[in-house]
Amino acid sequence: MANNGSGSSLGPGGLDLTNTFFKPILNSDPPIPSNRCTKVSVIGVGNVGMAIAQTILTQDIADEIALVDSKPDKLRGEMLDLQHAAAFLPRTRITASVDYGVTAGSDLCIVTAGARQNPGESRLNLLQRNVALFRHIIPPLAKSSPDAILLIVSNPVDVLTYVAWKLSGFPVNRVLGSGTNLDSSRFRFLIADHLDVNAQDVQAFIVGEHGDSSVALWSSISVGGIPVLSFLEKQQIAYEKQTLEDIHQSVVGSAYEVISLKGYTSWAIGYSVANLAYTILRDQRKIHPVTVLARGFYGVEGGDVFLSLPALLGRNGVVAVTNVHMTDEESEKLQKSAKTILEMQSQLGL
C-alpha cells in the first residue's frame, strides 16, 4: 500500500515516533502485495467456528470462506445452511471439505478445532491430545497456503499458538492467537458499565495468559482520553485495590459463567475473531491484545513463549508490539504469567 503522505513524523525536521511507540517484530518477512479476492478458511465447525464464519460472512470481510472439519455430514449441513442465506448476505463463495486442499490460497486461516476435556482428565493430557490434533491440522494448512496468516482460537490458545508456529515453520509475524482480545472487551464493558459510558470510549487491556494468570493493566486505562487512576489520585478520590481486583476476576470468570448458563461460548468470540480478521485483511493497523511471541518484550525471557500483548496488526499479521506503560507490579505479574505458560510448553517436547 502506497504511503498517503501523512507519515509518522511530528513538527519541523520530522521527528519519527514510530520506533518510540512500537517495537518491531524481528525476522518477519516483507508485506505481500495482492489484488486478488480475499479468502478465509475456518478449521472446525463447532459453535465457535460457525459463529466466526457467520460473523465474517455478515460483515463482508471475505470474498470466499472455506470450512474444514472431520465430520462430513455436519460440515456439509453447515455449508448448505449458510449458502441458503445467500439472498440476504453479501456475495461470498462458501466451500467445505474434510480435505485441506479446499483451503488452498487462503489469506487467513482460523483454527478453532480442539479436543474437549474428558471428565477427570488432566490439563496436561488434554493439551497433549490437542497438540496431536494440531500435527494433523497445521502442516497441511501451511502447505496449501504458504503465504497465509494463522490465527489460533483453540484453547489453551497461548500454548497452541506456540505449537502452530513450530509446526508451520512460518515467520513469527504470521502466527498469532486470539488471546485476550475478548477478555479485554469484557474488561472494557465492565469499566464502561461502572462509569455509564460507551465501551468504545474505554481504552483498557488484559495481557499475559488467556486464563487465570492474566494481568489487568490498570495503570494505562483511560476513558475519553483521561487516565483513570492518575485522575483519581490527582483529584484525591480514594479507591480500593480490591474493587479493581474484583473487576478483573469478573473478567476471568465471564466465560465460565456463560458456559454454565448456555453450555458454551460463541457469539462474543465470534465477533472478537471477526474483528481481528477485519483488522488484518483490511490492513487497518489497529492495536489488539493478541497472542504473540513475547520473548524480549517487557522483560519476558527464558524461552520462546507466546502470550497476549497489545500488538499493532495489519495485512502482514503482527506489525509491532506496543510500548504500553506498565508499573513494576504489572511487569512482574506479566513475567510470572509467562513462566506459567513456559512450564506448560516444556512438557510438550517440541
Residues taking part in catalysis: 210
- How far is Cα 87 from Cα 31, in angstroms, rounded to an integer? 35
Instruction: Give the ranges where 12-156 is alpha helix by DSSP (H).
Output: 18-21, 47-58, 72-83, 123-144
Q: Crossing angle of helices 267-281/181-195, nearest 10°?
A: 110
Within 10 angstroms of residue 218's Cβ, the number of other Cβ atoms is 21
Closest CA to 239 of 248, 231, 326: 231
- How far is Cα 350 from Cα 344, in angstroms, rounded to an integer? 12
Cell of 234: 490527582
Q: What one-character-per-residue DSSP string does 165-221 give? A: HHHH---GGGEEE-TTHHHHHHHHHHHHHHHTS-GGGEE--EEB-SSTT-EE-GGG-
Cβ atoms of 58 and 89 closer than 8 Å: yes
In one letter, which amino acid is 231? F
Cell of 320: 509491532
For the chain, how big is the Rg over CA atoms in Å?
Answer: 20
Measured in degrees and rounded to the nearest 5, phi and psi for residue 326 equal -135, 140
- How far is Cα 254 from Cα 188, in angstroms, rounded to an integer? 13
Instruction: Using DSSP, state whether 76 is helix, strand or coil.
Output: helix
Classify the phi-psi angles of 308: left when phi > 0, otherwise alpha if psi is within -120 to 50, otherwise beta.
beta
Q: What one-character-per-residue DSSP string does 183-194 give? A: HHHHHHHHHHHH
